[in-house]
Amino acid sequence: MNYRNICAVPGMVLVITGISMLFPALWSLYYGDYDWPAFLWTGGVTVILGLTLYKVCGITGAFQAKEAFAAVVLSWVAAAGFGALPFLLSGTLPTFGSALFEAMSGFTTTGASVFSDVEILPHGVLFWRSFTHWLGGMGIIVLFVAVLSSLGVNALSMFKAESPGPVIEKITPRISATAKILWYIYIGMTIVLVVILYALGMPLFDSLCHAFGTVATGGFSIKNLSIGYYANPLIHWVIIAFMFLAGINFVLYYLALKGKDLRVFWKDGEFRLYARITLVFIAVIAVTLLWTTNYSSEAALRHAAFQVVSIMTTTGYATADFDLWTTTAKAMLVILMFVGGCAGSTSGSIKVGRMLILLKQGYLELQRVLHPRSVTQIRINGKAVRPELVMNVQQFFFIYVFIAAVSVTVMSALGLDPVSAFTAVAATLGNVGPGLAEVGPMRNYALVPEAGKYYLSFLMLAGRLELYTLLVLFLPSFWRK
Amino acid sequence: MNYRNIIAIMGVMLIIVGISMIFPAVWSLYYGEDDWSAFLLSSAITVSAGLLAHKATGLRGEVQHKEAIAVLTLSWIAASAFGSLPYLLTGTFVSFADAVFETISGFTTTGASVIPDVEIISHGVLFWRSLTLWLGGMGIIVLFVAVLSSLGVNTLQMFRAESPGAGAEKIKPRAGTTAKILWFTYVGLTVVEILILWALGMPLFDAFCHAFGVIGTGGFSTKNSGIAYFDNPLLHWAMILFMFLSGANFALHYQAFRGKDLRVFWKNGEFRLYAHLMLLFTVILTGVVLASSDYSFEAALRQAAFHVTAIMTTTGYAISDYDLWPYFGRSLLVLLMFIGSCSGSTGGSIKVGRLLILLKQFRLELQRAIHPRAIVNAKINGRSISSEMMINVQQFFFIYLSITAVSTVIISSWGIDLVSAFTAAAAIMSNVGTGLGLVGPMHTYDFLPAAGKYYLSFLMIVGRLELYAVLVLFLPSFWKK
């Protein structure tokens, strides 16, 4: 184990985190708020500490798989740990547990908040919350790989450890070039959304914050009513569209841009399933809304579409308090928390790509009951899927559900009622944000005890790094020579 | 597909079901109730229908793989349709849906009831209810195989389809002999339990009914308050012991009995995990009960042990209303519903054997993340598990949870809350019978609309026959030549 490499990477990530704190400080100064010193102080300390770590350790040689795992996990913990400091220093959050929860929720693009009233917060803090989403969305390490391309770091292992989805492929031979392309698409999408929201009448500051939250599939809002605050239906529809776009595999955008051919989307099995699930859930929930509320058909469709897309892409914005909807609608939204967006997107949870493999294998297993001796493999996009990958995906599903189940008992031991405990776990592990009941869309996680906030922060990180990256650190053999 | 074979086998099944309807008639006469004629009439109808089906078609050649699978589901449906005759003819139920629900709940050893007050029900009907549990317990098919093996049908296939549990070990090469041995073990355990319960002061009739309920891991009681009615700690402990034994693999009982060596249990990996889990959950729950009530230590231990065994073995008896326990205790019980008992037992749910395989593979996958090129197979009882088996077990887990999730949505559409809907789906799929909230241990499923009762009946069969055997019937290719 090369411990120098393991220190150097978090060092560099801390530099990036520290520099990013300059932006909230600027907004704070612009609005004449009181919180800019908190950002400048933390930013300064974080940058200096990061540079020292980076210089003292220095990257030597290529990364082993083990080192990549450790470096990535440490980087995220460091980013969230230092990212939590501005909340403490500005006096907006009283305890480190709460501040860590908020920062981890930001970086992992969860969007679960402990603030019961965000509208009284200074602009610097608001911007920082949304900005952590944006940094975490595409991945700090991916950013780091893109920036450090000239340093000749063998970064593929780290890249994979941070975004280990089942179908991540190198779109260019050089991993740093791939990272750059992904970030360009990400930045491009953000700019387009900011411009559209601004054009639709949202103030520039709000547009920026919500664009960050949407494209990163985060979910922090600067209004207590979330997107429901903006009465303009067009704003809702635009955000629905961009949440949906952010839930698509970013590699497809690259292929579509390169080939100037939109058909690549429909040729992708995962995208087809993603679109179909979205449509079916919207249709069913819209019908339940029409039956049980007095919404107009446009409003019913819009609210159904917004909530379905928001939960499925694990964004977590809301235009309505879906905790008041029928049990059926709520149960369907909870199921979506376990589906998530496409692999290679900024969303979290189990991901549609894995669901596709699981569903196909399910069909195959049934056929195998009929013809026990037939040897067949499932195919995705025309390519046969190896049994090892199938097992890996199935095992991911098991571990995901297993961790969720154990976590529900942990949360209920901390005093949460069953529905709150279950959805709090589903919403943090899946990086969604809001759950139901106590942690519903119009409530927050302030009620969760301090220990529970640490535990949920751990779940958010586990979910963001897709379990294995974090869990291997708990193997005793991981630390042996 | 040879439909004649299918109908012929179903005919034999019906004859067995019909003959067993004579027993409740005997009890009815003994207690001087006037519904004995209803049982004899049902018996006559069922036996003649069975004879007619068997004679009219007749077995031809060997039973093919597909036919064996089709027979399983179809014979459960046929047995349940005719098994509901006594309820209808005695006037216990007016609606067919109620009668079918109660019968299927019996034959699948679920123990979920739609009778709001069982203490006003006649002894004949009570006995029939418990007898269906007992008959269903080891699987009518196993009995059926034992009887039919003398007819020279290739029954090995049938036995495979009946007990697809991961660790089903063949004691003897011929399925007919195996089935007979299992059946004798089953009868032996039942007789011993009846005698013990009777000796502990339970009336003979109640001892019969509750022994059937325990050994069949069913859960129908003759009292409204369940086992709580019998206020004798020794009796509770005796039932805990027998529930525990019924949840173990019956093949192990036989081996221990034949070899006069109890170590066979401990040499079995599945049994070890089963015992460990039971112990662990009992210890934690004893703490929970002690902390939240003023029970003595013995009473708290008994409460915890009783409900842990009752739910884990999917029996579903209760000695108190655990729906009043703290959230933590309740969530632990719900977790147990998804574990279930050992393969080769009368219990349902996912089964400890599958869980063992999943947990072993979990560790292996983590190790594979660090050493991607290492090829190792998980081992159970010293034998390595093939990838096909692994994929099958992991896929089972996915399908099981998917059906539970979809069922929660469907059940919630009948207007009940999330906790009740979810635990109803879990309790019915796993053949436990009792959940939380509206379907808690002191409630019944009486409130559901007819459609709900039919759906849950279907779900019980799906769970009892371990998914695949029922689901393949929905493949179009199943019915093609």
Question: What's the pLDDT tens digit per position in B217-237?
Answer: 999 999 998 999 998 999 999
* CB within 8 Å of chain A, chain B residues 415-474: 415-419, 421-422, 436, 468-469, 471-472
Residue B370: the pLDDT is 79
- Chain A partners within 8 Å of B72 (Cβ): none
Question: What is the least distance, in Å, from the CA of A305 to any CA of chain B?
Answer: 18
Residue A151: the pLDDT is 47
Amino acid at A65: A
**Average pLDDT, integer, range B30-56:** 93
CB contact under 8 A, B391 and A419: no
| B6, B12, B16, B17: CA torsion to nearest 10 | 40
Q: Pick from B387, B408, B478: which is nearest to A387 by CB?
A: B387
Question: What is the least distance, in Å, from the CA of A65 to any CA of chain B?
Answer: 6
Residue B227: the pLDDT is 92
- Chain A partners within 8 Å of B332 (Cβ): 409
Q: Does B4 score more than 90 pLDDT?
A: no
- Chain A partners within 8 Å of B416 (Cβ): 327
Question: What is the least distance, in Å, from the CA of A350 to any CA of chain B?
Answer: 12
B280–A contact, CB cutoff 8 A: no
**Average pLDDT, integer, range B362-369:** 85
CB contact under 8 A, B421 and A327: yes
Nearest CA in chain A to B337: A405
Alpha-carbon gap, residue A276 to A274, rounded angstroms: 6
Eight-state DSSP code of residue A226: G
- The more confident residue out of B145 and A447 is A447
Alpha-carbon gap, residue B352 to B355, rounded angstroms: 5
Question: What is the least distance, in Å, from the CA of B109 to any CA of chain A?
Answer: 25
pLDDT band with cut points at 50, 70 and 90 for residue B140 = low
Chains A, B: CB contacts under 8 A, how many?
A: 146
- Chain B partners within 8 Å of A417 (Cβ): 327
Residue B150: the pLDDT is 38
Contact A288, B412 (CB under 8 A): no
Alpha-carbon gap, residue A113 to A92, rounded angstroms: 13
Q: Residues in chain A with pLDDT < 70?
A: 144-173, 481
Q: Pick from A66, A328, A397: which is nearest to B412 by CB?
A: A328
**Average pLDDT, integer, range B27-42:** 94
Of A96-110, A263-277, B14-28, B463-477, least confident by mean pLDDT is B463-477
- Chain B partners within 8 Å of A339 (Cβ): none
CB contact under 8 A, A394 and B327: no
Q: To the nearest whole number, what is the mean pLDDT of chain B?
A: 87
pLDDT band with cut points at 50, 70 and 90 for residue B176 = low
3-class secondary-structure state, position A386: coil
Alpha-carbon gap, residue B125 to A202, rounded angstroms: 70
CB contact under 8 A, A65 and B468: no
pLDDT band with cut points at 50, 70 and 90 for residue B66 = confident
pLDDT digits (tens, 9 = 90+) for A364-411: 988 887 777 777 889 988 888 888 889 989 999 999 999 999 999 999
pLDDT digits (tens, 9 = 90+) for A426-456: 999 999 999 999 999 999 999 999 999 999 9
Q: To 10 degrees, what angle do helices A418-429 and A387-413 make?
A: 140
Question: What is the least distance, in Å, from the CA of A258 to any CA of chain B?
Answer: 33
Alpha-carbon gap, residue B113 to B130, rounded angstroms: 11
CB contact under 8 A, B387 and A391: yes
Question: What is the least distance, in Å, from the CA of A473 to any CA of chain B?
Answer: 9
CB contact under 8 A, B390 and A335: no
Max CA distance (Å), chain B: 74
**Average pLDDT, integer, range B387-415:** 92
Cα B191 from chain centroid (whole Å)? 19
Residue B460 buriedness (CB in 10 A; 0-12 / 13-18 / 19+):
buried
